[in-house]
Structure 1
Amino acid sequence: MNSLKKLLVATTAICSVTAGAFATDLEVTHWWTSGGEAAAVAEFAKAFNATGNNWVDGAIAGGGGVARPVIISRILGGDPMGATQLNHGRQAEELVEAGLMLDLTDIATEGGWRDIVNPTGLLDSCTVDGKIYCVPVNIHSWQWIWLSHKAFADAGVDVPSNWDEFTASADALVAAGKTPLAMGQQSWQSSGAFGVINVAIGGLDLWTKINVNKDAEAAAGPEMAKVFEAYGAARVLSEGSNVQDWNQATNMVITGEAGGQIMGDWAQGEFQVAGQTAGVDYTCLPGLGVNEIISTGGDAFYFPKNDDPEVTAAQKELAKLMISKPVQVAFNLKKGSLPVRGDIDMSTANDCMQKGLEILAAGNIMPDGNQVLSADTSGQIEDLMVEFWNDTSMTPAEAQAAYAAIIAEAD
């Protein structure tokens, strides 16, 4: 064999190995772009690439509010990605009904998802007409406040154990040059804080009447008025929080610039990346220390339909990996979320995650708003809360009246 033929043979062999190593490229869209989020999503990519396929990262900065319209537009426009993050609930309802999402029932049945997903309501959120269209990957709860030990030490007051103690410490924090409540300017942050205060101050029964039963009278009632008064107080406590992104607000807590932040448990990933320890550098209070309950929202991955059987096979391979034991542990430890599997060892989780696991085990859970309200209703509520948060001339009573009107027409 002459040298040219040898070169051709060698080149062919190299190309064959390369093609086999990356059998299928799969673009995966998501909005996990902060330090902690990036570390977590890398666990999915690593596991998928180990199969010989290739994870093509399609991160969209700006959070779900920015990413979801882009994701949905691409799918409807005939330019679907291979897989995409959405939240548990009704966000993909119309896409599924339009026949644009891959049916995962076969691998869900094979993998016994109905037996391992805890709570089963997460899988119910993936189910339409008896068929399963997504894989739940975590349980994220909004129901937390994160408190900086440094900020309270600088202010000369004890770390609060509940919402009332937190609000009572505000003057000392301000006197020490701190912002009591860190809050980013993205709309979903202030809206999410409203939901947390709603449950902590109003209680689960009131939340259920309004969000599940669509009881407009309860939404306009005196119990809900207390929630709006507390939300108004939170608006005052956030004055001076001039950051945009949620993780920038978290960093204010990490550095001791702010006393606390109402944010979901994904904030834990930022504390981990910063090298901080739960119970030492920061404290977490589920339910604002008032009603210890967690919402069982979170993230799921959907897989838009395509005509390529190799892509379909890669999509199902990724779905199976995402819910597998080792990947569930690796991903959720870095994400700060709780696993969707009830049969894995999370003994290495930090103190805050252990609190969440204990609350979950005790059954003190509630559905996420995305699971009970349509995207349209959720959007209207978010718009109202943003308006109230940014327009200090709007009173809590005025905001409550507008809120009750939305609930009266909710679907």
Structure 2
Amino acid sequence: MAFISIRRPAGWDAAIAVAAACLAATAVARAGELEVLHYWDVGDDAKAAQVLKATLRRQGHTWKDFAVSADGNGFPLSLLRSRVLSGNPPSAAQIKTPVIQQWAREGVLADVDDVARAEHWDTILPKAVGDAMKYKGSYVAVPVNVHRINWLWINLRVLKRVGARVPATWDEFFAAADAMKRAGFVAVAHGGQPWQDFLLFESVALGVGGPDFYRRAFVALEPGALAGPDMERALQTFRRIKAYTDPAAMGRDWLVASATVVTGEAGMQLMGDWAKPMFQAAQKNAGMEFACVPAPGTAKAYSFAVDSFALFKVNSPAKIKAQKDFASDLLSPAVQQAFNLAKGSIPVRLGLDLAGFDQCAKLSGAAFDAAARANTLVPSVSMSLPPPIEDAMRDAVSAYWHDDRITAQATMQRLVAAARLRQDGKSVAGGR
């Protein structure tokens, strides 16, 4: 075999060394710190956060936790406001959509339209989600996942034992609940905390009135919807469910309520998809049979909440580069898959293959895509209303649930009054 010798030009090794040094210097110059406020420090949430951190580090950047609070208390948000007002904000913060809009109005958020245009966010995101991430037409925040709110979880062994069928309508729901109650089961697992009361009511309102009514009431805040016949029917249906819960529900944590479905003490629970890991674990460890189906009357609708990051204006090219890379990472197919597999939610990016996801996630993903096409996606109230209005409405609905003396008419008037609230200048510090 003949070997051909290629002589290197004079100075070749020196040139290579210089080029390598330049590339290394460029990489260092572009590497930046991303300081992030988030709420993912335990369990599956922490595993999901590690996906984001590892992805950013592979690009040469560093991740710094600004503040982490698993219970979402107000301290990190107060600290966030102090830092923003002092001119030293973090690069990104996990906060609710209405609060993102408030920060945008204060002129402190950065837009990432260049990333959005290059990666076609208007195409890969449902319009309802994309619009929530924009301020005056520009992207100032990025979503990373979707949680479905309008789920009904059922212990199938309880359902079979009482001879009932999986309900698709409210009449079928109450027929199944009656059968469970007669057989000595708690038909509906519930925790009597205000946020759980309101979450339950959201699914009832969507199932009774439909997506158009829901948007008129909880997005547009139309008085005619908040105090109209559909709202009255929704409130009446909501109160009817109370008879199928148990007296110990007052103040109960949602995890404890879910556990009663796992053990077979209770038959059904209306709760978002964050309840799924408990049922999956019981299925694996104890052979539990469960169903995840849309809340009655909501098969063609999808009430969603997304985790999203607002992007604050930062003052160095390296930090800006890290921030833009982070924005791009969040919606990349690889991160969407890995993050949501870890967290138990589903990708917010449309059209991804969910072959590796569980059956409930696949059902959720198909429903999410279908609702996006049919314009039946609706935001959870926490996604659509500023915190003061959400708080006032939640208090009104929870009071109605806990006090049978309060009428539907009085509650509707409280909802109308809540819709008239206007935020003061401090409201951006509240709400996740």
- Residue of structure 1 equivalent to 2:54: 46
Distance in 2 between residues matched to 1:399 and 1:196, nearest whole Å: 17
Amino acid across the alignment from 1:401: Q
Q: Which of 150, 163, 166 is the matching residue for 1:160?
A: 166
Q: CA deviation at 1:218?
A: 3.2
Distance in 2 between residues matched to 1:76 and 1:353, nearest whole Å: 37
Q: CA deviation at 1:322?
A: 1.1
- Residue of structure 1 equivalent to 2:303: 295
Deviations, residues 275-304 of structure 1 (Å, cap 9, x unaligned): 559x97211121325543102431211122
Distance in 1 between residues matched to 2:282 and 2:417, nearest whole Å: 43
Q: Which of 203, 206, 219 is the matching residue for 2:210?
A: 203
Distance in 1 between residues matched to 2:76 and 2:153, nearest whole Å: 27
Q: Which moved more, 1:126-135 or 1:375-384?
A: 375-384
- Residue of structure 1 equivalent to 2:118: 110
Inter-CA distance 309–269: structure 2 relative to 1 (3 Å threshold): farther
Q: Secondary structure at the match of 1:345?
A: coil
Q: CA deviation at 1:134?
A: 0.8
Q: CA deviation at 1:107?
A: 1.8
- Residue of structure 2 equivalent to 1:376: 388
Deviations, residues 36-89 of structure 1 (Å, cap 9, x unaligned): 4333333223323333434344431224x75785475455454643322123x3
Q: CA deviation at 1:328?
A: 0.3
- Residue of structure 2 equivalent to 1:6: none
TM-score w.r.t. length of structure 2: 0.77
Aligned partners of 1:135 and 1:300 also within 8 Å: yes
Q: Which of 105, 108, 111 is the matching residue for 1:97?
A: 105
| Structural mapping, 1:130-169, within 5 Å | 130-152=137-159, 156-158=162-164, 160-162=166-168, 163-169=170-176
- Residue of structure 2 equivalent to 1:126: 133
Q: CA deviation at 1:24?
A: 4.9
Aligned partners of 1:232 and 1:396 also within 8 Å: no
Q: Which moved more, 1:104-113 or 1:205-214?
A: 205-214
| Structural mapping, 1:76-95, within 5 Å | 76-78=84-86, 80-87=89-96, 89-95=97-103
The percent identity for this pair of structures is 29
- Residue of structure 1 equivalent to 2:20: none
Matched, 1:216 2:211: no
Amino acid across the alignment from 1:366: L
Amino acid across the alignment from 1:327: V
- Residue of structure 1 equivalent to 2:194: 187
State the structure with more CA Rg.
Answer: 2
Aligned partners of 1:182 and 1:260 also within 8 Å: yes
Aligned partners of 1:103 and 1:131 also within 8 Å: yes
- Residue of structure 1 equivalent to 2:5: none
Distance in 1 between residues matched to 2:147 and 2:384, nearest whole Å: 16
Deviations, residues 195-241 of structure 1 (Å, cap 9, x unaligned): 11001012223223323443313322222211001111233333323
Q: Which of 262, 267, 288 is the matching residue for 2:270?
A: 262
Q: CA deviation at 1:132?
A: 1.2
Matched, 1:29 2:34: no
**Root mean square deviation, CA, Å:** 3.4
Q: Secondary structure at the match of 1:344?
A: coil
Q: CA deviation at 1:135?
A: 1.0
Q: CA deviation at 1:175?
A: 6.0
Distance in 1 between residues matched to 2:399 and 2:85, nearest whole Å: 32
Q: Which of 211, 219, 228 is the matching residue for 2:235?
A: 228
Deviations, residues 303-334 of structure 1 (Å, cap 9, x unaligned): 22233433332222222111111110112233
Q: Secondary structure at the match of 1:382?
A: helix
Q: Which moved more, 1:328-337 or 1:47-56?
A: 47-56
Matched, 1:405 2:405: no
- Residue of structure 2 equivalent to 1:304: 312
- Residue of structure 2 equivalent to 1:366: 377
Distance in 2 between residues matched to 1:33 and 1:167, nearest whole Å: 39
Where in structure 2 are there 5+ consecutive unaligned residues? 1-23, 424-432
Aligned partners of 2:301 and 2:378 also within 8 Å: no
Distance in 2 between residues matched to 1:333 and 1:168, nearest whole Å: 36
Deviations, residues 321-356 of structure 1 (Å, cap 9, x unaligned): 111111101122333333222242112322222222
Aligned partners of 1:81 and 1:304 also within 8 Å: yes
Amino acid across the alignment from 1:59: V
Deviations, residues 164-192 of structure 1 (Å, cap 9, x unaligned): 33333335545666433233354322212
Aligned partners of 2:154 and 2:268 also within 8 Å: yes
Q: Secondary structure at the match of 2:249?
A: coil
Distance in 2 between residues matched to 1:159 and 1:319, nearest whole Å: 45
Inter-CA distance 205–128: structure 2 relative to 1 (3 Å threshold): closer
Inter-CA distance 96–230: structure 2 relative to 1 (3 Å threshold): same
- Residue of structure 1 equivalent to 2:19: none
Aligned partners of 2:282 and 2:288 also within 8 Å: no
Where in structure 1 are there 5+ consecutive unaligned residues? 1-15
TM-score w.r.t. length of structure 1: 0.81
Aligned partners of 2:193 and 2:253 also within 8 Å: yes
Inter-CA distance 53–259: structure 2 relative to 1 (3 Å threshold): farther
Amino acid across the alignment from 1:190: D
